[in-house]
A and B are shown apart, each in its own frame.
Chain A
Amino acid sequence: MVKVVLTSGTATQYTDGETEVTVAAKNVRQMVTALEAKYPGLGTEINQSMSVAIDGTILPDPFLEEVTEESEIFVLPKIGGG
C-alpha cells in the first residue's frame, strides 16, 4: 500500500475532504488507476490537471515512476511559469 497526500481542494473534492488516502500500487500508473477506482473522477483529474511529487521531485507527467510504502507522494496542481 502507498500513502498519497492530496494537498489541494481540487483533489479532495473527490475524497469527501480526506487528505490522506492509501491504495495498492507499485507505480504511478497503478496508483492513478486505483485512485480512480476508489474515488471516481480523481484519477482523471490527476491525469488532466495535476502533478505528482514523489520524494520531493515534482513530476508534471508521471506514469511509470515506481512508488513504495516509503515513498512520499503528493498530488499537486500543475505548475507552469512565465
Chain B
Amino acid sequence: MNEQPKKFKWVGTRTIRPDGVDKVTGRAMYGADLTLPGMLQGKVVRSPHAHAKIKSIDTSKAEALDGVKAVITADDMPQADPTPVAAGEAMINLRDLSDNVIARHKVLYEGQTVAAVAATTSDIADRAVALIEVEYEVLPHVIDVLAAMKDDAPVLHDDMFTGGVKPKPEVASNVANRVEFTLGDIEAGFAAADVVIEQDFTTEPVHQGYIEPHAVVADANPDGKVDIWCSSQGHFMVRTFVAGLLKIDMSKIKVTAAEIGGGFGGKTTVYLEPLAVLLSSKSGRPVRMVMSREEVFRASGPTSGAAMTIKMGATKDGKIVACDATLYMQAGAWPGSPVGPAAMTAFAPYDVDNVKVVGFDVVSNRQKVVAYRAPGAPISEYGVECVVDELASELGIDPLELRAKNAAKEGTQAAYGVKFGAIGMVETVAAAQATEHYKTPLGPNQGRGVASGFWFNIGGESCAGIRINEDGSVSLTEGSPDIGGSRASMAMMAAETLGVDYYKVKPSVVDTDATGYHFVTGGSRVTFATGMAVVKATNAAIDELRARAAKIWDVDVEGVVWEDGHAKPASSNVGDFDPMSVADLAAMANKTGGPISGHADINAKGAGPAFGTHICDVEVDPDTGHVTVLRYTAVQDVGRAIHPSYVEGQLQGGAAQGIGWALNEEYIYDENGKLENAGFLDYRVPVASDLPMIDTILIEIPNPTHPFGVRGVGEVPIIPPLAAVANAVAAATGVRFHALPMSPPAIVAKMAEKG
C-alpha cells in the first residue's frame, strides 16, 4: 500500500471512528432500537401469489380483534401521480412506488404488501394479519427474463409499451425500455479482427443481504406533523418519498437517520415508512415496523438477474478492435433495472474504437429490483471479463498483459461517450502484475483468474456545517447516513483543513430539519461529495476566523493567513502578532461578532471514475463441485484514501459480496412463482470460513476536482470478483461456466457433461 505523503497530518491515517465506542458497546441506536411511549407494532399482509387481481379485502375480523388499533389498505393511500423521482440508481415513478408499498388493484409478485395492521403487541398484530381476508383472481405469471420477453408471456402492465424503439409499439409487453450505446463502426471492427469470441452468459438476482432488516418508527401528530426514525441510506430520500406518496408538505416531516446496519443500495427506497405513517395517523399512536428476514428476502432488494451475449474481436497482436453486447435485465415488477449503467460500464475499462451495446429493461413477477453496489456493472462486466479471458487464451497472451495492452487511459473515449480524465486502470493492472500473488505457482485442481472493473462514481447534493465552540472544539453537522465509517473521514477532512486535532472535531449526521437536502448515501459519493461540502464549510469557517483575527489585530483580513490551525500575520509588514489558535479566537468570539461557523450547500460535480483489478485463486473439488477461494488480491485506484482501513474494508467487503454472487447466491422459485429460499440458511452469503484473507493494494491517483483527491471506493470492488472467480474456476477445471452462481451442483453437472 502506498504510504501517505508527509504533508497530511490526519488524512491517510488510521484514526478511531467517532461512532466506534457506541458500536462496540451496544449503545448505537439502529432502526428497530427506538421505543416510544404507547408505541404500537405494525405488521404487513403479503400476497401469496406471484400475479393476481385483488377482488376484495375484508379487514373487519382483524379490526374487531382486541388490541388492534389500525388497519390500512391501498384505499388509505392517496392516488399517486406518475411523477419521476430520483431514487438510488435511476428515476422511478411514484405510482409504481406506491403500488410497491401497498398494492392497489393487482399483486405483481409473491410477498407484495396488500394491507397492514398496528396492534398493541407483535403477537396480536400477527393474529390480525391472519384474520384479514383477501380474495384473489390468480393470473398466469412469468419469472425468467427471457420467458418474459416472449410474445405469449403474461403481460404485467397493459399500459406499458417499449420505450426507446421506433416506431412506438402498438402492443403492450414486458419490455419497458431499450437502450443503445454505439461508438465507431463495429462491423468494420469485427472485419479487422483476427480472433472473435462470442458467448452467452446468465446471472441470477442476488440480494444485498444487509444484516439489519428494514425498520422504522413513525409518529404522526394530530397537528399533521410527522416524525420518522428509520434505517435508510438517505433520510432525505425517505422524506421525499413519504411526502410524495402521502401528499404531505415536506416541512411537516422530520426524518431522523437511525444507525444503519448495512444497505449496499438496498436501502435507497421506502417499503415500510409510508405504511407506518398511515398506521400512526390512523391510530394516533407511534408505530414501529420491522421486517422479518423472510420479508427482506421476499419483498426488498435484490438486484437484477440477466441474460447476455458478449462478442469481442481482437487482432493477433492483442489489440481489441470491436465489442458488442446485448443485455436482457430483470427489473422486477416495475421498470427500472440498472440496464443503463450496465450498458455504459460494460466495456469501459478498455480503449476500443468500435463498440455497440444494446440493453433491455424487462419486467417479470418478482419484487422490484433496487440498487446494489455499482448497479448493473458487475453483471455486464462479468460477461465481458470472461470473454477478455477467452481472448487472452485464444491469442496466447497473459490475461493481465492483454488488459494492460487495451486499458483505458487519460483521453480514452468510453463507449458511453465520455472522454476520461486522469484515471488509474493501467496502474491497477500493472500493480496486479507486480504482485507476488500473481507469480505464485498453483497445485492440482487449482486455478487463477483475474478481472478488472469500472464504475463512474457520482456527486450530488450535500451540505455541511462547521461550528467553532466556545472552547475551540468543533461541531460538524452533515446529513449523509454513516454506513461504514464516513463520520471519521468527514472529521478527518475537517481537522486536516482547519489544522486542529481530529479528536476535537465531533461529526453528527443530523435530521432533515437540521441541514439541507442530501442525495442518498450511495454511488460511492459520500466521501467525495459530502467531503467536498465539509472542506468548503471548513474553509468558510477559516475565512471567518481570519476576519476575527484581523479585527483583534486591527489589520485588513488580507493581512491574515491561516496556517497549521492558527491565524498568522501574512508577513512582517502586517505587524508583529502572536499566532492565534482556534481556541484563542473562539474565546474572543463574543467580542468580535458572535459565534463562529462555516456552511456549505453544494451539488458536487466531477466525481472521479474508478477502476480495480482483482486476482483470485481457487481450488475446485472434482467430486463435490465445491470451490474454495484460496487467495484473493484486490487492487484499486481510490484517488485518495482518507481513512485507509475503511477503504481497505470497502475493497474486502465488496470482494466478499462478489465472491458470494459468483459461487452461491441466487433466488430459487417454484413453479407457482414463489420464492423457495427466503432465509440465510438457503440463500447462502459467504461466512467467515468460506473466505481467505483479502489482500488489498490501494493506488492513489488523485481526482483533481476533490480537495484531497477522493474518487469514491465502495462500488468498484464488487465488479471484478464475478469474472475473477469464474476465470479461476475455468482455469482450474478447463471448463468455462456461462452461468452464475457456480454452486456445487452446477459444477458437478457441468463436469459430468465434460466427462
Contacts and interface: CB of A to CB of B under 8 A. Distances in A.
A16 B178 CA distance: 14
Interface centre among B87, B163, B180, B344 (most CB of A within 10 A): B180
Nearest to B358: A9
Given A19-B182, A56-B418, A81 B165 contact: no
B177 A80 contact: no
A61 B529 CA distance: 14
Contacts of B91: 48-49, 78
A16 B166 CA distance: 7
If over half of A's interface residues share one DSSP class (helix, strand or loop), that class is named, otherwise mixed; here it is loop
B523 interface: yes
B77 to A, nearest CB: 24
A48 B91 CA distance: 8
Interface string B335-353: 0000011011000000000
A33 interface: no
A12 B208 CA distance: 34
B264 interface: yes
Contact of A77 (B86, B263, B344, B520): B344
B460 interface: yes
A81 B417 contact: no
If over half of B's interface residues share one DSSP class (helix, strand or loop), that class is named, otherwise mixed; here it is loop
Given A10-B164, A17-B166, A58-B456, A81 B182 contact: no
Nearest to A45: B163
Interface centre among A57, A76, A77 (most CB of B within 10 A): A77
Given A8-B164, A16-B166, A77-B344, A82 B417 contact: no
B86 A81 contact: no
Interface string A61-82: 1000000000010101111111
Contacts of B547: none
Nearest to B455: A81
B501 to A, nearest CB: 33
Contacts of B523: 79-82
A82 B340 contact: no
A59 interface: yes
A80 B86 contact: yes
Interface residues of B, number: 57
Nearest to B183: A7
Contact of A79 (B166, B417, B421, B456): B456
A55 B182 contact: no
Contact of B268 (A49, A61, A80): A80
A23 interface: no
B458 interface: yes
Given A7-B181, A12-B180, A82-B371, A77 B715 contact: no
A60 B458 contact: yes
Given A49-B91, A57-B605, A74-B418, A79 B179 contact: no
B416 A76 contact: yes
Nearest to A9: B164
Given A7-B181, A72-B419, A77-B344, A82 B374 contact: yes
Contacts of B182: 7, 19
Nearest to A57: B606
Contacts of A8: 164, 179-181, 340, 343
B417 A76 contact: yes
Given A48-B84, A57-B605, A82 B373 contact: yes
Given A79-B458, A81-B455, A81-B524, A9 B90 contact: no
Nearest to A73: B417
B87 A80 contact: yes
A56 B264 contact: no
Interface in B577-608: 603, 605-607
Contacts of B166: 13, 16-17
Contact of A59 (B179, B181, B375, B605): B605
Nearest to A55: B419
A80 to B, nearest CB: 4
Interface in B375-389: 375
A28 interface: no
Contacts, number: 127
Contacts of A80: 86-90, 268, 371, 375, 458, 520, 522-523
A60 B340 contact: no
Nearest to B456: A79
B30 interface: no
A82 B268 contact: yes
Contacts of A74: 416-418
A58 B340 CA distance: 14
Interface centre among B84, B268, B340 (most CB of A within 10 A): B340
Interface string B130-144: 000000000000000
Contacts of A25: none
Contacts of B714: 82
A34 interface: no
A10 B421 contact: no
B491 to A, nearest CB: 24
Nearest to A6: B417
B522 A60 contact: no
Contact of A76 (B177, B344, B520, B524): B344
A9 B522 contact: no
B420 interface: yes
Interface centre among A9, A74, A81 (most CB of B within 10 A): A81
Nearest to B263: A82
Interface string B509-531: 00000000000101111000000
Interface string B690-703: 00000000000000
Contacts of B271: none
A5 interface: yes
B372 to A, nearest CB: 5
B421 A82 contact: no
Interface in B439-473: 455-460
Contacts of A21: none
B305 interface: no
A81 B340 contact: no
Contacts of A2: none
A24 interface: no
B715 A82 contact: yes
B416 A7 contact: yes
Contacts of B416: 7, 74, 76
A10 B177 contact: yes
Interface string B604-627: 011100000000000000000000
Question: Which 8 pairs across A and B sit closest by C-beta, in order of nearness?
Answer: A81-B523, A82-B265, A77-B340, A74-B417, A9-B164, A80-B89, A82-B373, A9-B180
24 contacts: A5-B417, A7-B417, A8-B340, A10-B340, A13-B164, A16-B166, A48-B91, A49-B84, A55-B419, A56-B419, A56-B420, A57-B605, A61-B603, A76-B417, A76-B418, A80-B87, A80-B90, A80-B375, A80-B523, A81-B525, A81-B715, A82-B523, A82-B714, A82-B715
Given A10-B163, A81-B373, 20 more contacts: A7-B180, A8-B180, A8-B343, A10-B164, A10-B340, A12-B164, A13-B165, A16-B166, A17-B166, A48-B91, A53-B417, A55-B419, A59-B605, A76-B418, A77-B90, A77-B341, A78-B90, A79-B340, A81-B265, A82-B375
